[in-house]
Structures are given as structure tokens and as C-alpha cells.
Amino acid sequence: MFIVAHRNFFIGLSVFFTALALAAISIWGLRFGIDFTGGSLLEVEYAGETRLGINEVKEALASAGEFGADAIVQPTGEMGYIIRTGTLSSEDHEKILSALSGEGKRNITEKRFDSVGPVIGDELRRKAWVAIAAVIIAIVLFIAFAFRKVSDPVPSWQYGVITLAALLHDVIIPTGAAAFLGNYYGFQADVLFVTALLTILGFSVHDTIVVFDRVRENLKLKLYGTFAETVGKSLEQTFMRSVNTSLTVVLVLAALLILGPASVFMFSLVLLIGIIAGTYSSIFLATPLLLVAEKLKRK
């Protein structure tokens, strides 16, 4: 009942962080990776000697030509680097490898080299946003249908609208974090980022449906006098389940952040932020919004 009694504070907190995320997106925007913009990705590993420092790698790339001057360098493992550049020709590719090896003086192994054309990149970006929008619409329609027999005191379609608000909250906040990370730490939104957003959507709606379903069951049983009491008791009955489920995922993601390879660090961080935001919205945003909807209906 504490959440129900202080619902304005919790809803306001969600609005505040959503506004911050929207501000970050509008100011910095997303920094798209080569999956969406086209370009080349090169992963190399030094062998038999200490890895060059990141500044030394950047200097070597700059000496290779203009295509290397704007490259993004990310350490991976103990001896490797992931390097992202514009689209490289075969000749430019060889120049970069030569510069990184000090004209053959250092032993390096090329572990991966991928190139994506800008046409494919544009198509991937368009399909990614379509996929996210389609998932959100499908979820909203499903919830509106599933709750069609629960129309008092809140119409069934409003369960879907409230779920939509919670899902937008859960997508906007990690996207804002990605914009911040892209501006200050070089994070690039790629296919893994879209995967993270879709995972967040699925996880969040799962938690929201659990709480809403308990509200539906308690409304049918008519165990409590008022709608506010029904919502409060439903939250109380599902609170620890939602928190414990999210905590297990958070622990896994924390382990990935600490022990995982550098190539998935940003992906794990964005996913962690989204899971926390999704858990919050299911408990502190979506269900309290039912009371707001019920209050507006009475007016």
C-alpha cells in the first residue's frame, strides 16, 4: 500500500528520468555503428609482447591515412583491440595492418575483419525500428485482448495504453543512456543494441502482466473493498517475485560487466539499465497508473 499511497512521487520520478533521457537523445543523438551506417570492423591481437597503448594505436592509425584518423579504438581482452572505421578498401586494410604491426616489427594476428555497405546499413536501421514498433504494438493489442473481460472500474483497453506508456519508458531510458555513452565514451548503437531493447521489452512486459493479472484475479474474487486496495494488495503479493526475478538477471549482467569481454561491455550496461528501468516501471509506474485512470473515470 506504500506504493499506492505515494504513487504521485513514483510516477513523477519516472517522468523525470524519461525527460532526462529524451534530453540526452535530442542533444547528442545516437551514434550508430557500422551495422547501420556502413563501414569496417577490424579486430587484432598482439602476440609475444606487451600490447601497444590505446594512444599509440590511434597514432599508428592516423599515420596510415585519413581513413584511420577517425577510427574508434576499443580494447578487448589482454592483448587485443577492436577498431571501427569507414569502409576500407583492400589497400587501406593492408595499410592499417602494416601501421599496427610497426611495418612488421610487432607480431599481430587479425582475428576478424567485416565490412558493411551503407545500403545494407540503412536497410538494417529501418528494419530495426520497425521491429521495435511492431513488438510494442503487438504487446499492447495482446494485453487489451487478454483483459477484455475486466472492464470495471478501468476499461480493458486502458490496460494496453498503460502498458504502452511503461514500455516507452523502458525503451527511452536505455536509449538516452546510449546517447550519453556514445557522446562521452564512444558507444555505438548496433544490432546488439537493438537486441538489448527487444530483450528489455519482453522482460518488462512479463513483469507488468504478472502484476496486472493479479489485479484481474483479485477484482474477480472481490476480496477487497476499493480498487486502490485491490491494486495495493496485488502489488504486495507480486512485489518480491518481480524483484527476485530481476535480481537474478542483474547479477548475471553484473558478472558480464566485470568479467566479460570488452566487446559486450556496453551491451551489458545498456541491458542492465533497461532491466532496472523495466522492473521499476512494472511496479512503480504501470500499476499506479491504473489508479490514475480509475480516478479520471470517476471524474
The domain total for the chain is 2
Backbone angles phi, psi at 82, to 5 degrees: -105, 130
- Shared domain for 105 and 179, answered yes or no, is no
Say if CB 188 and CB 72 are below 8 A apart: yes
C-alpha span between 50 and 45 (Å, rounded): 11
- Shared domain for 241 and 141, answered yes or no, is yes
- Shared domain for 196 and 126, answered yes or no, is yes
- Shared domain for 88 and 187, answered yes or no, is no
For residue 118, the model assigns a pLDDT of 65
What's the pTM? 0.80
CATH no. for residue 78?
3.30.70.3400
- Shared domain for 78 and 129, answered yes or no, is no
Boundary (domain end) residue, out of 54, 83, 116:
116
For residue 276, the model assigns a pLDDT of 94
- Shared domain for 172 and 249, answered yes or no, is yes
Amino acid at 171: V
- Shared domain for 79 and 147, answered yes or no, is no
Boundary (domain end) residue, out of 88, 116, 144:
116
Boundary (domain end) residue, out of 116, 148, 176:
116
pLDDT means over runs of 10, the chain (299 residues): 85 96 95 80 81 83 75 81 84 87 83 77 79 84 78 80 90 94 85 87 85 87 84 90 90 89 83 94 90 81
Say if CB 285 and CB 11 are below 8 A apart: yes
For residue 285, the model assigns a pLDDT of 92
Q: Which domain holds residue 95?
A: 39-116
Backbone angles phi, psi at 28, to 5 degrees: -105, -30
For residue 121, the model assigns a pLDDT of 67
The owner of cell 472500474 is 153
- Shared domain for 79 and 201, answered yes or no, is no
- Shared domain for 130 and 190, answered yes or no, is yes
- Shared domain for 61 and 166, answered yes or no, is no
Q: Distances in Å between the alpha carbon of 272 and those of 177, 187, 222, 239, 264?
A: 11, 15, 38, 19, 12
If we measure between CA atoms, which residue out of 243, 281, 275, 292 comes closest to residue 17? 281
- Shared domain for 21 and 60, answered yes or no, is no
- Shared domain for 43 and 176, answered yes or no, is no
For residue 171, the model assigns a pLDDT of 92
For residue 147, the model assigns a pLDDT of 78
Write the DSSP string, 41-65.
EEEEEE-SSPPPPHHHHHHHHHHH-
CATH no. for residue 243?
1.20.1640.10
